[in-house]
Structure 1
Amino acid sequence: MTPDTAPASQRVERYAADGMVRVDGLLTSGEVETIRSAFMDQVVRDRHRLGARDGLADDDILARFPRFMQPHRHPDLEVGSIARRLMTDRRILDIVTGLIGPAFGAQSMFYFKPPSARGQALHQDNYFLRAHPETCVAAWIAIDDCDAANGALSVVPGSHTMEVVCPETADDEESFTTGLVRPPAGMTPVQTVMRAGDVLFFHGSLVHGSLPNTTEDRFRMSLIFHYVPQTSVEIARWYLPLVAPDGSDVTVAAAVGGGPCGDGWSGAAH
């Protein structure tokens, strides 16, 4: 995938066409090392406080290194302070604002993805967030150099134009999550290669995912934020409260109903 080398004024056009833009070196090597060290310290000290309950077997490597959900809601922890600060960092938020207008922060996540870990099947983010009437946008920050071998993202350029759909069942040999969204006809996943500190911004309907980490000694850590336009009138309850650019909490209506899977659906957090 070609990185974003165009002037900032042209990012909107690329985002509209592809559903994503990549900005290289947005975070410094020093910032990346601080993030990596803090999150590794936290997972070793207490992985349960922030770790997602993904129904993993005790011998699954991801049970030892679970993805951390909403660390920005824990400002008493170093990782929480880092996540809260970066969620409203102007370098990131200004790009988000340029793409979707004034925005609120909705989610923070940290993935460790150690050697041998399964990936995450192709999916769409707004299936989980259910932001309305617009959609969310992700800021996916590489904390390690990542490529196909250690399970970097695969993305489907242009797939952001499709509706959010109800997923099929994923292959649990390759994915630790259960849902799979197939790309639209004629579109295929493109493997990304990113350096630590690069950030990929992408649309909430963009189909994306990752394969397992097949290396023996390389993590693929990433810090992810999701944002929604300030014009959003509702979002799934789990993402409330939202975070304003000044760091204060904001509440909108909680989304109701079954979403793309119908009235019987009850979605879990992304």
Structure 2
Amino acid sequence: MSIQTQATRSTPLTEEQLQSYEKNGYIVIPQGCSNDLIDAFNSHIHTIRSNDPIPQWAAPHAGAESKEITEKQRFSLRLFNPHLHDGFSLQVLKLPIVRGALAQILGDEAVGVQSMYFYKDPGTPGQAAHQDYHYIRNNPNTLTAAWVAMEYTNEENGCLYVIPGTHKLGLLPHGKVKNLAEHEAWTEETENIDLSQEIAVILNKGDILIFDSLLIHSSTRNRSERWRRSYVCHYIRHDSTIDREDLKKKISLH
């Protein structure tokens, strides 16, 4: 009896979508992930953070004991690289539709290098405008993100904003965050850019936003009573190399 694998790679993007990606630096795949899978994954992550004790890899603060973690922290602070420890998170990183789309965009097979599950509960600040390549250097630069909406995401609960076409500007200088009322202080932001050019990316539950590592993007504070959960994974083409030691492990999408 043979074992089934994801050997056959799909080609989900049309030529028009590929041209749009080339021009704008991003593309949205509507309902790229089913609602049933989204619900199961959200429930799975909630169960992990509900455990006592929370597994060390899933703890809101590295090295923290469960007794030191508040209920708010359990369900607000992100899980970093869950795919390295959790089978369900690994399989969502390896979504066949993402694998196929990345191969079309990059011209060859991609591999996973990072995953993050964001809660973004009500009141949580966003991240100032930036380019992912500033944080994750790779050579040659093929870094690409797939941002899976775990629920409806709009301006009220802190959606992503992008400046179309900025992926063609190259890496720009980044400096200290200026608007601390809106954005997290621990990040950095792209300098000397016209934020009036930003547009909101409204996503329905299950939509997948794929974007270039040089695309300038940001998010705003969650001003709603809803969460804005998302699963964000980063990929590179299989022949690229990552500079950061903590992201050197390449995950096959087969």
TM-score by length of 1: 0.78
Equivalent-residue separation in structure 2 for 1:59 and 1:32 (angstroms): 26
Tell me, yes or no, if the aligned pair for 1:27 and 1:197 is still in contact at 8 Å: yes
Q: How many pairs align?
A: 232
1:41 aligns with 2:50: no
Unaligned 5+ runs, structure 2 = 1-11, 63-68
Deviation for aligned residue 1:127: 1.3
User: Which of 95, 112, 118 lines up with 1:111 in the alignment?
Assistant: 118
Aligned 1:1-270 pairs, distance under 5 A: 8-45=14-51, 46=54, 49-51=57-59, 53=61, 65-74=76-85, 80-101=86-107, 102-170=109-177, 171-176=179-184, 177-182=186-191, 184=193, 188-216=197-225, 218-246=226-254
- Give 1:238 shift: 1.4
Secondary structure of the structure 2 residue equivalent to 1:66 = coil
Q: Once the 2 structures are TM-superposed, how far is the Cα of residue 135 of structure 1 from its aligned partner?
A: 2.8
CA-atom RMSD, angstroms? 2.4
Q: Which residue type is aligned with residue 70 of structure 1?
A: N
> Residues of 2 paired with 1:116 and 1:237: CA distance?
33
* Matched AA of 1:190: I
**Structure 1 residues without counterparts, runs of 5 or longer:** 1-5, 75-79, 247-270
More moved, 42-51 vs 92-101: 42-51
Deviations 1:45-88 (A, max 9, x none): 3286335659xxx99956752111100000xxxxx212211222
In 2: Cα distance, 1:114 partner to 1:84 partner: 24
Secondary structure at the counterpart of residue 135 of structure 2: helix
Alpha-carbon distance change, 183 to 161 in structure 1, aligned in 2, over 3 angstroms: farther
Kept in 2, the 8 Å contact 1:161–1:205? The answer is: yes
Q: How many percent identity over aligned positions?
A: 22
Q: 1:187 to 1:228 in 2, by over 3 A?
A: farther
Deviation, structure 1 residue 173:
2.3
In structure 1, give the amino acid aligned to 2:36. Answer: G
Compared CA separation, residues 208 and 65, structure 1 to 2 (3 A): same
Q: Could you state the TM-score of these two structures normalised by the residue count of structure 2? A: 0.83
